[in-house]
Amino acid sequence: MSLMDKVRFYHAALSVMTVLTYLSGDFGLIYDWLGYGVAVVLSLRLLWAVFNPRQRGLNRFYPDFDGLRFDNAYNHPSVSKALILAIVAAVSVRKLCDPAR
């Protein structure tokens, strides 16, 4: 199986499970198990990105602020990477610290 086939399979599995989770509503165990499946697929993809030497892995998400100046701050790619990283961190911390769960 080629790398692109693996990526396509990952995207297909994630999208199918996400849509089924959405369509199942809050239908008890089915909803729970589909949610666990989505978490497993995302975790496997994260592990694949960390330990796979063929890809650039997670390095492409780390912002590199070389060349950032005041005049190009609106369109520098590191600014958007930093914002995405901040959003992921905020959502992760919020989910971990949510007292309702």
Q: Over the stretch 64-75, which tens digit does the pLDDT of each residue have?
A: 667 777 777 777
SS3 25: coil
Residues 44 and 10 both lie in one domain: yes
Closest of 5, 59, 16 to residue 41, by C-alpha: 16
Residue 19, both tokens: 């849509």
Residues 3 and 47 both lie in one domain: yes
How far apart CA 7 and CA 23 sit, in angstroms, is 24
Residue 89, pLDDT > 80, answer no
Q: Which domain holds residue 67?
A: 62-101
pLDDT value of residue 57: 56
Whole-prediction pTM: 0.54
CB atoms within 10 A of CB 34: 20
Residues 48 and 73 both lie in one domain: no
Q: Which of 11-20, 51-60, 74-83 has the lowest mean pLDDT?
A: 51-60
96 pLDDT band, cuts 50/70/90, is low
| Domain count for the chain | 2
Residue 31, both tokens: 């909803």
Which residue did the predictor score with more confidence, 90 or 73?
Answer: 90
Residues 41 and 83 both lie in one domain: no
pLDDT value of residue 3: 73
Taking a C-beta distance cutoff of 8 angstroms, is the pair 31, 21 a contact? yes
Residues 15 and 49 both lie in one domain: yes
Residues 50 and 66 both lie in one domain: no
Residues 1 and 36 both lie in one domain: yes
